[in-house]
Structure formats: C-alpha cells, structure tokens
Amino acid sequence: MRIPILKLHDCLLISIQWELDDQTALQFQEDLLRKIHETSARGVVIDLTSIDFIDSFIAKVLGDVISMSKLMGAKVVITGIQPAVAITLIELGIRLEDVLTALDLEKGLEKLRRELED
C-alpha cells in the first residue's frame, strides 16, 4: 500500500491513515521527495492523527524526510500527534527538534502559509 500524496496549490498534503510498516515508510519517503521535485511544492503537511505509536525507526524515517524536504526547498509541518505518541516519543529519547508542528491539518496549513510568506 502506498500513502496518497495530495497537491493543494503549492503544498502537498499527506494524511497517514494506517499503521506504518517499514517498507511503506521508506516508500513514502521516496514518493514524497519525487512529488516535491515534480510539483515544485514549497510546503508539506504530514498529518499523523491516525497514528497511535511511533518507534525509533519510523521517527528516523520521518526526521530524515523532513531534512531531505528542507534540502529540496520545501517546509514540512507535522500535525495531529496524539498525546500517547508525544509521551512515548519523549520517553524513547526522540526529540523531533526544530520540526514545525500544529494541532490539526487546518492549523498546519495556516502555519505553513505564514512560514511561506516570510
């Protein structure tokens, strides 16, 4: 299964709807970078509302894809991190530092708009 990537003006929207296995996570990384390249997207929102846990592997893939997107000139906002996910990530010792976050997809898009205007 591939994670669908939607285009909205100059932004890409991704809502991860099911549990990520390793292959799907890596495929997503590749697909997103290709899509940024193809569409010249300047911003990306990744919504994790449906994700109920993140382990160190998925955290690394996410962190990497954020850095890679930045290299390509696109800003990434992560939205919808559940309380249980936030708690376990910090306990795991993973600090997704200087990652832009927002409560939900709508606020994520607003934040991205503001970031892109600066």
Partner 1 sequence: MDSCVKITNEWDIVAARQLGRNVAKDLGFGTVDQARITTAISELARNIYLYAGQGQVCIEKTENAGKVGLIILSEDQGPGIQDLRKAMEDGFSTSGGLGAGLPGVKRLVDEFAIDSTPGEGTLIKAIKWLR
Which residues are near partner 1 by CB under 8 A? Answer: 19, 21-23, 52-57, 59-60, 82-85, 87-88, 91-94
- Cβ neighbours for 105, distance < 8 A, ≥ 6 positions apart: 13, 15, 45, 47, 49, 79, 80
**Smallest distance, ligand ATP to C-beta of residue 34, A:** 25
| Residue 38 partner contact from partner 1, ligand ATP, none using kind-dependent CB cut-offs of 5 to 8 Å | none
**Smallest distance, ligand ATP to C-beta of residue 31, A:** 22
| Residue 2 partner contact from ligand ATP, partner 1, none using kind-dependent CB cut-offs of 5 to 8 Å | none
**Smallest distance, partner 1 to C-beta of residue 59, A:** 7
Residue 57 contacts residue 29 (beta carbons within 8 Å): no
| Residue 103 partner contact from ligand ATP, partner 1, none using kind-dependent CB cut-offs of 5 to 8 Å | none
Amino acid sitting at position 33:
L
Chain residues that interact with ligand ATP, rule: CB under 6 A: 56-57
Distance CA 43, CA 50 (A): 21
Task: Give the 3-state secondary structure of residue 2.
Answer: coil
Residue 83 contacts residue 54 (beta carbons within 8 Å): no
